[in-house]
Amino acid sequence: MRIKVFIVLLLAAFVTGLFFVAVPAQAAEPIKIGALLPLADATGKDGSRSMELAVKQINAKGGILGRQVQLIVIDDELKAEKAAAALDKLCTVDNVDFIVGGMASGITMALIPGMKKYGKVVVWAGAAYSGVEKAMEGQDWFFHLHAWDYQQGAYYEKGWAEVKQKYASFKRDKMFMAYEEGAFGSGSFKGQKVLAENGKYEVQGEAFKSAAMGGGDYRSVLRHAKEFNPDQFIWVGYDKDALPMMEQAKEIGFSPLTFVGSPPAWPVDFAKQPLNEGVLLYSYWADTMKNVSRASKTYSDAFHKEFKDTPTTYFGPLCYTNIMILADAIKKAGTIDKAAVIKALETTNYPSPLGDTFVFKKSNVIDHQANSWPKFMQWQKGKLEVIWPWEYATAKMIYPFPAWDKRGKASATIEGEKKAVPAKDAKKDKVKK
Q: Which of 55-69, 271-285, 387-401, 412-426 has the lowest mean pLDDT?
A: 412-426
φ/ψ of 292, rounded to 5, equals -125, -5
Burial class (CB in 10 A: 0-12, 13-18, 19+), 153: buried
Whole-model pTM: value is 0.81
d(CA 282, CA 234): 10
Contacts of 398 (CB under 8 A, 6+ apart): 277, 278, 378, 380, 411, 412, 413, 414
Q: Which pLDDT does position 224 carry in this prediction?
A: 98
Q: Domain 31-149+290-370: what homologous superfamily?
A: Response regulator (3.40.50.2300)
Local confidence band at 419 (pLDDT 50, 70, 90 cut-offs)? low
Report how far residue 345's alpha carbon sits from residue 66's, in angstroms, rounded to the nearest whole number: 20
pLDDT for residue 293 is more than 90: no
> For 128-154, what is the mean pLDDT?
95
- Mean pLDDT across the chain, nearest whole number? 89
Residue 11's pLDDT is 46
Numbered ranges of CATH 3.40.50.2300 in the chain: 31-149+290-370, 151-286+375-406
Residue 24 has pLDDT above 50, yes or no: no
Beta bridge partners of 36: 74, 101
pLDDT for 26 equals 53
The predicted model gives 269-280 an average pLDDT of 92
Is the confidence at residue 304, as pLDDT, over 70? yes
Based on the number of CB atoms within 10 Å of its own CB, is 252 exposed (0-12), middle (13-18) or buried (19 or more)?
middle
Average pLDDT estimate for 148-166: 92
3-state SS of the chain is CHHHHHHHHHHHHHHHHHHHHHCCCCCCCCEEEEEEECCCCHHHHHHHHHHHHHHHHHHHCCCECCECEEEEEEECCCCHHHHHHHHHHHHHCCCCCEEEECCCHHHHHHHHHHHHHHCCEEEECCCCCHHHHHHCCCCCCEEECCCCHHHHHHHHHHHHHHHHHHECCCCCCEEEEEEECCHHHHHHHHHHHHHHHHHCCEEEEEEECCHHHCCCCCHHHHHHHHHHCCCEEEEECCHHHHHHHHHHHHHCCCCCCEEEECCCCCCCCHHHCHHHCCCEEEECCCHHHHHCCHHHHHHHHHHHHHHCCCCCCCHHHHHHHHHHHHHHHHHHHCCCCHHHHHHHHCCCCEECCCCCEECEECCCCCCCEECCCCEEEEEECCEEEEEECHHHCCCCCECCCCCHHHECECCCECCCECCCCCCCCCCCCCCCC
Contact, 332 vs 347, CB < 8 A? yes
CATH superfamily of 151-286+375-406: Response regulator (3.40.50.2300)
Residues 206-220: what's their mean pLDDT? 96
Average pLDDT of the segment spanning 51-60: 98
Q: What is the pLDDT of residue 1?
A: 47
Cα–Cα distance measured from residue 9 to residue 19, given in angstroms and rounded to the nearest whole number: 15
- What value does the mean pLDDT take over residues 307-333? 97
